[in-house]
Structure 1
Amino acid sequence: MSAISGFSSATPPTTKNGFDAVTSEDFVRIMFSELTNQDPLAPNDTKALLEQIGLIRSIESDIDLSKRLEQIASRSELASAGALLGSFVVGVTAEGESAEGVVGSISVTDEGPILNLLNAKRIPFANVQEFIDPRLLTSDSSQSSPPPSV
């Protein structure tokens, strides 16, 4: 058998924009330009300028962190939904109808993972109310023995 190839990372290449594109050298050049061009009799408040630049960088950093956390949460939600493959689930469809069945596949949408049941019903992962291991559905409930080990 040959190895499976062709998989690539889902992370897009990073591009620098805004203050991310400003190097330390550029920053020093801007500061010297600011200091050189100001009126000596009415100097600008350099400390305030530095504080503003620091605040802008902090805000951009917070936004970037927020985006990364959203990506992590999305991937975690998808992994949790994937763990339900083959499980019997009960939940509510996007249209508000009750649905139940065995999860056959997972679809990824902008709203999050959708569980595709073998009976053609679709339940958003967020709307799952209960899930049951299918091995428990097929075993005789009168037996008190543990499920077979894998």
Structure 2
Amino acid sequence: MEIGATTGKTNAGNDFVDTGDTGFNALTPEDFLRMLITQLQNQDPTQPTSNEELLSQLSMMQSLTSNRDLSNTLEKLNSAQLDTLATQQLNNAASLIGKKVQGKTESGVPVDGVVDRAFMSDGDVYLDVGDVELPMSSVNGINLAA
């Protein structure tokens, strides 16, 4: 039984949830079981599918499911690490509030002043120095005595 990549339906007309994945990645365990049952219902009675082939198919589905679960877990871990890194960067920027910093804006304008606040925008950390938003990555000097 083939899965239509563009229609989101099996060739039997059954709907399935479109997760944006294609091929084997789009199959859920329920889809696989439906296909297996359909295969068994439509097999040639004079040449039935062997037990070894059925076990092989079940094993392959288990492997695919395990790989997908592992991939999802790794994505969540990566996202958590990025969140931790962003939090650390924001904490570092917040520690500069009240300190005098030097740097350049994204457009290259020199900035020299006291940090009023630290914030994140689009995943990047910025410092408010007066009325200028200075990217934390562009700070090139800190005067701790300010």
Give TM class, smaller chain: 0.5 to 0.7
Q: Tell me which residue corresponds to 2:133.
A: 122
Listed as ranges, the matches of 1:134-149 within 5 Å are 134-135=145-146
1:108 matched residue in structure 2? 120
Q: 1:116, CA displacement in angstroms?
A: 0.8
Per the alignment, in what secondary structure is the counterpart of residue 134 of structure 2? Answer: strand
Q: 1:28-67 maps to which residues of 2 (within 5 A)?
A: 38-39=39-40, 40-42=48-50, 43-44=53-54, 45-67=57-79
The aligned counterpart of 1:138 is none
TM normalised by structure 2 equals 0.63
Which residues of structure 2 form unaligned runs of 5+?
1-18, 20-28, 41-47
Q: In the alignment, is residue 131 of structure 1 matched against residue 142 of structure 2? A: yes
Q: Is the 8 A contact 1:86 1:134 kept in 2?
A: no
Q: C-alpha distance in 2, partners of 1:130/1:37?
A: 69
Q: CA deviation at 1:128?
A: 0.8
Q: Is the 8 A contact 1:86 1:102 kept in 2?
A: yes
CA contact (8 A) 2:32 2:61 kept: no
Q: Is the 8 A contact 2:90 2:119 kept in 1?
A: no
Runs of 4+, deviation exceeding 3 Å:
29-40
Structure 1 residue 77 corresponds to structure 2 residue 85: no
1:68 aligns with 2:68: no
Q: CA 1:32–1:104 in structure 2 vs 1: closer, same or farther (change >3 Å)?
A: closer
Identity of aligned residues (%): 18
TM-score by length of 1: 0.61
Q: Which runs of 5+ in 1 are unaligned?
A: 1-17, 19-26, 136-150
Q: Which residue of 1 aligns with 2:12?
A: none
For 1:30 and 1:113, the matched residues in 2 are separated by 44
Q: Answer yes or no: is 1:99 the counterpart of 2:107.
A: no
TM-aligned CA deviation for residue 38 of structure 1:
4.7
